[in-house]
A = this chain, B = another copy of it.
Amino acid sequence: MVSDLAKNAYHHGDLRAALLAAATDIITESGVDAVTMRGLAERAGVSRTAPYRHFEDKRALLTEVALEGYRRLAATMAAAREKGGDDPVAALACIGQQYVRFAVDNATHYRLMFGDGAVTAGDAPAIKSASKKAAQDMVEAIQAAQARGLLIDTDPKKLANLLWSASHGLANLLISGQLPRSRAAEYARYMTDSVSRGFLPRPDDQSAR
């Protein structure tokens, strides 16, 4: 009954969580723009002003939702890296491909994270930390490949930023429909291949795998 006590403390007791869940639902269904403070309140069965007891403003609420996305992205990156197995170049390709897949599969959420009104890393320390963590996975995979002589020896951070750019750009074009979503996986594969091998001919290379 102790838990019931907590739950019943004023209406549902966890309005905060209810609001976040509602926002996440709406974002998934109808996009970030469809989220309104008033609508969230109504959905939670509470007055219009009640949400302001739990979040300073709309931005703060959305920042919290975005944070969850960053955490899931970081987890996806970590999993992708492992999936690459022993081969660090394969691990890197996996990371790039899974990044694009995450973005397309969570398009509306991704927009909140990286889109126009984007909750910047500066908005919350937790976001900065989660996003650094995702980036770190990429950098480490690069360093591992370089240590084995499998990648050219340039600044691994810069190289990571380039792979990030290509993945991010591809993801955006797919999400906005400028490239066909149905070909997402194909393009992602092509992207990671190309970033590794480049477009210049390789005279020494018979094994176009």
Question: Are B111 and A177 touching (Cβ within 8 A)?
Answer: no
Question: Are B201 and A198 touching (Cβ within 8 A)?
Answer: no
A26 to B8, CA, bound (A): 49
Mostly helix, strand, loop or mixed at chain A's interface?
helix
* Min CB–CB distance A69 → chain B (angstroms): 15
Question: Are B165 and A170 touching (Cβ within 8 A)?
Answer: yes
Question: Are A201 and B162 touching (Cβ within 8 A)?
Answer: no
A151-209, CB < 8 A from B: 151-152, 154, 158-159, 161-162, 164-173, 176-179, 187, 190-191, 194-204
What 1/0 flags go to A81-121 for Cβ under 8 Å of B?
00000000100000000000000000000010011111011
Q: Report if A176-B117 is in contact (Cβ < 8 Å); known contacts: A152-B201, A165-B169, A166-B165.
A: no
- Residues of A bordering B, CB below 8 Å: 32-33, 89, 111, 114-118, 120-121, 149-152, 154, 158-159, 161-162, 164-173, 176-179, 187, 190-191, 194-204
